[in-house]
Structure 1
Amino acid sequence: MNYAFLKFFTVSLNREEFSIYTDMYALSFLVIGFISFGLENSYFRFLYKKNYNQETVFSTGVIIQLLITSFFFIIAINSIKYLAPIAGYQNHQEYFFMFFLIIFFDTICILPMAWLRAHDKPLKYAIINVVNILTQSFLIIYMFSNTLHLKKTFFCSILNWISSFTDRTGYIFFANMISSFISFFLVLPILLKKVTIKKFNQILAKRMLNYGIPIMFGSIAFSINENLDKILIKRWGSDEINGSYSACYKIASFMSLYIKIFRLGIEPIFFKKSEDSDAKYFYEEITYMFILFGLIFYVLICGNISMFIDFFIDKKYHIAISIIPIIMMGNLLLGIYTNLSIFYKIIDKPIIGTYISLVGVLITFVFNIIFILIPNRNFMIPAWGTLSSYGCMLIILYIWGKKFFFICKEIKNIIIHFLFALFLVFIIIVIIKKMEFRLFFQFMYLIIVFILEKKRLVNLIKKK
């Protein structure tokens, strides 16, 4: 639904408005990374430790999260008049009010949603997310498609009230705020039923925070890597360029969608499997297959960029199309990093991730400073910075991981698959112009990969 709305937004909003839309979300992700305190990972880690009751772990985590989030909300609401001018939104302080409410509700929902994943309740998890996105979608479509002051109906009165304090871009934030509140309302029964103050364990709370804080720094570093370019392009480039860059970045984020689907399903199992005798084999095989299917996904998207970009974003945003293969590859490297990072989480050394993330942030800063300093400010520089950052993080993690736990043994095969996929994408984008030939090469690629990896896939399925 979000990708469906990408076309709607790029048609309905001009590039300046779309730039503001993406900029506010970029700023909010930095905040969420901070106040989440890595408690989702802490919850999964301590949930499967034998010396802790599951309800105690959940109650302790939720109470910590409520305290942190409530403290943040009180401070943030009282600081809007100072923060809005600093960010360049002195005339739209309502943006910040709505986003602080979004952050408040979304952060509280993190652990209840993790509880649904950990207790094998995918249907409830899906229903909450679907209700969230449908509510947001309905509100956005209604507000954008109705002419103000046309009829004196109840809904038009509400729309007139919303229009009295914000603009079209603010409609999106208002819809998100309402949908976030509804998500909070839907997870409230879990909180009321499973969380009690009596089950709060002070010693466990300290251990969860000690485990989660390094992950929090890693999350902040990830948010900087993902969003610093868009924040700086808006302020040192232009809203027009940032709007195009951000829209094409979202096309490249198809890879993030694949990564998220994989992570949501496999992350709890990684923690649960950590003490089994076949854990090493399981991690290696799953990571290998993740890389393989990620490369297939990369080839299929990049091989058909012209079709995807016409379908998902308006033509006035196409000037940044060249960043898509670069950002997509960066996201795939990030996905591999995320899978391999399980090793430092299950040996209780999340500080490793913090150190590596700081290296990634440093690389991101260097590329973005170069972008600011050079006269023409080419938006390709931040894109290459994203790829370089995630690539270096993965290499460091690979070297570090071999000392502690597991790592994919068949690195030569993985490198061959990478080179094959990159070469094919280069040929398709640069040399082959006719769509039928592009599709033929992609079809042959799929056949070759299937022939090479058929045995591995069959064996993994047999062993579950």
Structure 2
Amino acid sequence: MGIAKKLASQTAIYGVSSIVGRVLSYLLVPIYTAHFAAAEYGIVTGLYAYVSFLNVVFTYGLETTFFRFANRPGEDRRELYNRTLSLLLLSSVVLTVLLALLARPLLGLLHLPPGHDEYAIWVALILGLDAVAALPFARLRLENKARKFAAIRLTNILLYVGLNLFFIVLCPAVAHSAPGSLLAGLRPLVATVYNPSLGVGYVFLSNLAASALTLLLLGRELLDFRFRWPRLDFLQPLLAYALPLMLMGLAGMVNETLDRILLPAWLPAHFYPGLSQLAAVGVYGACYKLSIFMSLIIQAFRYAAEPFFFSQSTEKNSPATFALVLKWFTLCCAFIFVAISLNLNWIGPLFLKRPEYLTGLSVVPILLLANLFLGVYYNLSVWFKLTDKTYFGTYIGAAGAVLTIALNFLLIPVLGYVGSAWATLACYFMMAALCWWLGERHFPVPYPVKRLLLWLLGAVGLVGLGQAVGHTRLGYVLGFALPAVFAGLVYLVEARRGFRA
């Protein structure tokens, strides 16, 4: 349990930036849904779906590759850092320029009218800055500087949130304030920096400013960097490990975000009365945000787990440790699934301010469960990273991508964005199951699979029971009682087993 506690401690520190930062960012959802119509928010959802794909292309697996090579015996970590960051810097400049030149075609894919090409240019700059920052962040994780990592990440989020509040809330309030009021005195200042016609563009501008500040805060990690032209003998083993990870990442993004790209293309016109295809994307994207509580745990866990798994790989009892980590990760996520799903009747209106957004709440429990299986997959994927068989990750991700595309093609015309949610769940469950099955043959770990499946079935049953009651007084009571029942049962049963895997 000592090793698991160490990982939990690291996860908690990384979680300061991930969870607190994401919660602050998540508080923008009520702002967006109050100030932007669903069609406008659909622009943000659609462009950030492309950003998710392009982030993978810009970093092409070099973060995980850096961890792997840095932990090899006799490796010169400083020289590895210099050469890897040099490679990433060169590729980021080329890709940023190329993407900025393709701004108009990119926006055309979202069916946007001409006039906002700057959105795509800002997105290109964001991607370039974030890619350059990726390796200094990886270095902080490798050196166990979790507090500095968390502080910089949190500062990034605070600036992003602050600028959003300034441009989306304060500036319009000042512009429309009554003469003689306190806010009216700020009009000269606001007039110099605020352009009402930009609208949702301020979301991207805020992100760009935050990304630029992040590079400045990583100054120490960048100033001691020395550019090294990547040699062929260096590139071959590095890219042989990294490129399968990139393909795996791209396949993962297909599974995670392609539905928001496919929706406006495959959703029949007038499927949702009163909503355009782009507005439906906005509704789905806003409701997808309600599954963020599961994503927060997964992201914080990944930051801590990746270097942890590599450092534990040479320990004799590492398989038992990996099994213990998976068990408690799954049980924690199952509790979140139950708690959020049973309390959507008050959580939904709290964050989604317009009635048009509330029509999509039915997708949230499906997406929460889908993200749970995604987290399980990340746990299970340790075997092909430790055995240098990353191509298996590519195969699994590709299989998931094929299933995602096929199910979206079949289900979107029939079920709309609910079909996309079911496709996401089917994909992540299949990927987790396939990864476990292959891992049993290449890197056996004593995962308590049957017991975890029973716990998950119990969690699904509790959610079904609570939803069957509906929005009644009893439903509100069960929303608080059933998660407590689930947590109590987990504690009683697992305590009898000594909290072992």
Query: In structure 2, what is the equivalent of residue 93 of structure 1?
Result: 117
Which of 407, 431, 444 aligns to 1:367? It is: 407
Query: In structure 1, what is the equivalent of residue 191 of structure 2?
Result: 156
- Partner amino acid, structure 1, of 2:447: K
Q: Does the CA contact (< 8 Å) of 2:99 and 2:124 recur in 1?
A: yes
Identify if the C-alpha distance between structure 1 residues 377 and 303 changes in structure 2 by more than 3 Å, giving closer, same or farther. closer
Which of 239, 249, 271 aligns to 1:209? It is: 239
- Partner amino acid, structure 2, of 1:294: C
Q: Does the CA contact (< 8 Å) of 2:27 and 2:351 recur in 1?
A: yes
Secondary structure of 1:253 counterpart: helix
Query: In structure 2, what is the equivalent of residue 109 of structure 1?
Result: 133
Q: Distance in 2 between matches of 1:152 and 1:314?
A: 27
Q: Distance in 2 between matches of 1:7 and 1:282?
A: 41
Q: Does the CA contact (< 8 Å) of 1:109 and 1:184 recur in 2?
A: yes
Q: Distance in 1 between matches of 2:321 and 2:480?
A: 34
- Partner amino acid, structure 2, of 1:331: N
Report the Cα offset of residue 198 of structure 1.
5.2
Q: Does the CA contact (< 8 Å) of 2:320 and 2:446 recur in 1?
A: no
Secondary structure of 1:277 counterpart: coil
CA deviation digits over 1:369-394, x for unaligned, max 9? 1245x3x5522111110011111111
Secondary structure of 1:275 counterpart: coil
Query: In structure 2, what is the equivalent of residue 256 of structure 1?
Result: 295
Secondary structure of 1:197 counterpart: coil
Query: In structure 2, what is the equivalent of residue 173 of structure 1?
Result: 204
Identify if the C-alpha distance between structure 1 residues 410 and 83 changes in structure 2 by more than 3 Å, giving closer, same or farther. closer
Query: In structure 2, what is the equivalent of residue 247 of structure 1?
Result: 286
Query: In structure 2, what is the equivalent of residue 283 of structure 1?
Result: 322
Identify if the C-alpha distance between structure 1 residues 271 and 252 changes in structure 2 by more than 3 Å, giving closer, same or farther. same
CA deviation digits over 1:10-47, x for unaligned, max 9? 11111111111111100111111112110011011111
CA deviation digits over 1:89-113, x for unaligned, max 9? 3321011011001101111111111
CA deviation digits over 1:155-213, x for unaligned, max 9? 531224xx5xx5211011111111111111211321221x2235966533321211110
- Partner amino acid, structure 2, of 1:350: T
Q: Structure 2: which 5+ residue stretches go unaligned? A: 1-23, 177-183, 268-276
Cα RMSD after superposing both structures? 2.0
Report the Cα offset of residue 406 of structure 1.
2.7
Q: Distance in 1 between matches of 2:228 and 2:377?
A: 39
Q: Distance in 1 between matches of 2:438 and 2:460?
A: 26
Which of 121, 138, 141 aligns to 2:145? It is: 121
Give the alignment of 1:59-458 within 5 angstroms.
59-89=82-112, 90-144=114-168, 145-146=170-171, 147-148=174-175, 153-160=188-195, 163=196, 167-193=198-224, 195-197=225-227, 202-237=232-267, 238-316=277-355, 317-371=357-411, 374=413, 378-431=416-469, 433=472, 434=474, 435-454=476-495
Query: In structure 1, what is the equivalent of residue 60 of structure 2?
Result: 37
Q: Does the CA contact (< 8 Å) of 2:167 and 2:202 recur in 1?
A: yes
Q: Distance in 1 between matches of 2:365 and 2:187?
A: 49
TM-score, normalising length from structure 2?
Answer: 0.86
CA deviation digits over 1:210-255, x for unaligned, max 9? 1110110111111111111111223443122222111111102321
Q: Compare 217-226 and 304-313 and name the one that shifted more.
A: 304-313
CA deviation digits over 1:352-382, x for unaligned, max 9? 000011110001111121245x3x5522111
- Partner amino acid, structure 2, of 1:452: V
CA deviation digits over 1:313-346, x for unaligned, max 9? 2242111111111111111101000111011001
Q: Distance in 2 between matches of 1:440 and 1:404?
A: 42
Q: Does the CA contact (< 8 Å) of 1:56 and 1:201 recur in 2?
A: no
Report the Cα offset of residue 455 of structure 1.
5.2
Q: Distance in 1 between matches of 2:69 and 2:223?
A: 21
Q: Does the CA contact (< 8 Å) of 1:398 and 1:407 recur in 2?
A: no
Query: In structure 1, what is the equivalent of residue 272 of structure 2?
Result: none
Q: Does the CA contact (< 8 Å) of 1:330 and 1:387 recur in 2?
A: yes
Equivalent residue pairs, number: 453
Q: Does the CA contact (< 8 Å) of 1:211 and 1:348 recur in 2?
A: yes
Identity of aligned residues (%): 26
Secondary structure of 1:52 counterpart: coil
Q: Distance in 2 between matches of 1:35 and 1:457?
A: 45
Q: Does the CA contact (< 8 Å) of 2:370 and 2:429 recur in 1?
A: yes
Q: Does the CA contact (< 8 Å) of 2:66 and 2:84 recur in 1?
A: yes
Q: Distance in 2 between matches of 1:321 and 1:422?
A: 17
Q: Distance in 2 between matches of 1:447 and 1:246?
A: 34
Report the Cα offset of residue 84 of structure 1.
3.1
Q: Distance in 1 between matches of 2:88 and 2:496?
A: 46
- Partner amino acid, structure 1, of 2:409: I
- Partner amino acid, structure 2, of 1:253: I
Q: Distance in 2 between matches of 1:57 and 1:406?
A: 31
Query: In structure 2, what is the equivalent of residue 46 of structure 1?
Result: 69
Query: In structure 1, what is the equivalent of residue 16 of structure 2?
Result: none
Q: Distance in 2 between matches of 1:75 and 1:218?
A: 23
Q: Does the CA contact (< 8 Å) of 1:284 and 1:408 recur in 2?
A: yes
Identify if the C-alpha distance between structure 1 residues 378 and 152 changes in structure 2 by more than 3 Å, giving closer, same or farther. closer
Return structure 1 stretches of 4+ with deviation > 4 angstroms: 148-152, 198-202, 455-460
